[in-house]
Structure 1
Amino acid sequence: MIANRPLARSDPATWIQAFRDITNATNERTLVTGNLPRSGIGNNAPAIDYEHGRSIASALVSANMNSLPLDWAARFSVGGVHMNFFVLKQIPVLPPDMYLKNSACGRLYVELIVPRALQLSYASEELAGFARDLGYKGPPFPWNEHRRHCLQSELDAIFAHMYGLSRPDLEWILDATPPGSSFPSLKQYELRRFGEYRTGRFVLHAFDSIQRGFAPDVFAEVRG
């Protein structure tokens, strides 16, 4: 189990976590963060670090920050084109103890999130150090856009449950009725590309699966 693995194995010389400073509330995603190979970064990609359990903490916080429920909240805090630290500190990132709670499908949230976050992060050998810190010694995961979309949708649904959202709450966050507006750029892009708002369908399917007591598997269960 991931929760029983030692947490103090990360090598700070191999990878860092950063978030994108330049943003806008009208973008497809307002808050974007991820792991990078250790390198020099500028002020438009501020770094985030952790005192304890660096690798698992990074995987969990990155997944949380990149989730649609948190992004929806972030949109109300961004007034310009910068995701400043003082803005980031206002955003309702979940506390560590939440991840050790049982989900509706009977598994700890940490067990649902970390493997999915790993697959989304580890697509290049340059982040092998991050993967090893999480206990994974295999090759990078292939870049499959459809599978990545499914994994991200599952994480969006998992965090919707963690925030205590009902299905109507999640439907509103995904696609608020006029004059409300949630993610219009994302919706318009997917309507042009897929002929449907695919993220909405995927996330709601995953949310319902968890509610019924099953771990979500959008890639296997839902038509692409």
Structure 2
Amino acid sequence: MAESEIDRKLAGRWNKTGFVGWRDVCRATDARTVITTMVPASQGYGHKWMLALPSTGDRLLQAYWSSFALDYVARQKLGGTSMSFGTISQQPIPAPSDVMGEQVPLDRPLASWIDLRVDRLNGWIADPDERARVRAELDALMFHIYGLGRNDVSYVLDTFPIVKRKDEAAFGSYRTKELILAAYDALAEAEASGTPYCAPWNQEVHP
């Protein structure tokens, strides 16, 4: 599709370089249900790759859709193999104005903290270990935003058997869960003490 045609369609509607999109097809054999990423706005997309054009908070939306917390809820609402517009619109996504009221102490405003990490992931982090840690921090924050306690977080993560099985094959343990719980604990400690969150990666990570 000619880029000029895309520009014509988007004129007055969208002036950013990318779209937040998600895959329509979701199967029981997939590790995750909501499969989402940022894609270039200079290309055309078919009906099996859905697009969102939020007026604000596109990175925050991507953080929500990529989280285990939302993925768990999405599976409860799914009746087939299509993550349609209707299904995605039913997901519990707080408004950006509500999220900005969160009181987790961070080294920068919450929106900037999220945007920085989402931008790093969209820009592709070459080191897979660093990428896993950044994703874990975002997941841990989303669990805090959704108000899940530590035991609930542990339970939700245990309902992703394919992620667990792949981790155990590659690392000998459920590393994704370990990283998220470590970041979750560090965020909880920051909130309780009122001191800025400090990443726990220099500590030993336990299951």
* TM-score with structure 1 setting the length: 0.76
Change (3 A) 1:59 1:183: same
CA RMSD of aligned residues (A): 2.2
1:117 — aligned with what? 118
Tell me the residue number matched to 2:199.
217
Q: Which of 37, 46, 50 is the aligned partner of 1:42?
A: 46
1:26-57, Cα deviation, whole Å (9 max, x unpaired): 52111022111120111111110023x3xxx1
Identity of aligned residues (%): 28
**What does residue 164 of structure 1 align with?**
147
**Equivalent position to 2:30, from 23, 27, 30:** 27
Counterpart AA for 2:93: V
Instruction: Provide, for residues 39-97 of structure 1, a one-character-per-residue CA deviation record: whole Å limited to 9, x for no partner.
Output: 0111111110023x3xxx11100011100111111111122211011111111112112
1:69-218 equivalences under 5 Å are 69-106=69-106, 108-123=109-124, 142-175=125-158, 182-213=159-190, 214-218=196-200
CA distance in 2, matches of 1:20, 1:220: 36
User: Gaps (5+ residues) in structure 1?
Assistant: 1-9, 124-141, 176-181
Normalised to the residue count of structure 2, the TM-score between the two structures is 0.82
Are the aligned partners of 1:25 and 1:78 in contact in 2 as well (CA < 8 Å)?
no
Deviation readout 1:102-154 (Å, 9 max, x if unpaired): 3333564323311111110123xxxxxxxxxxxxxxxxxx4221111111111
Counterpart secondary structure, 2:37: strand
The secondary structure found in structure 2 opposite 1:18 is: strand
Give the number of the structure with larger relative contact order, counting CA–CA contacts within 8 Å between residues 6 or more apart: 1
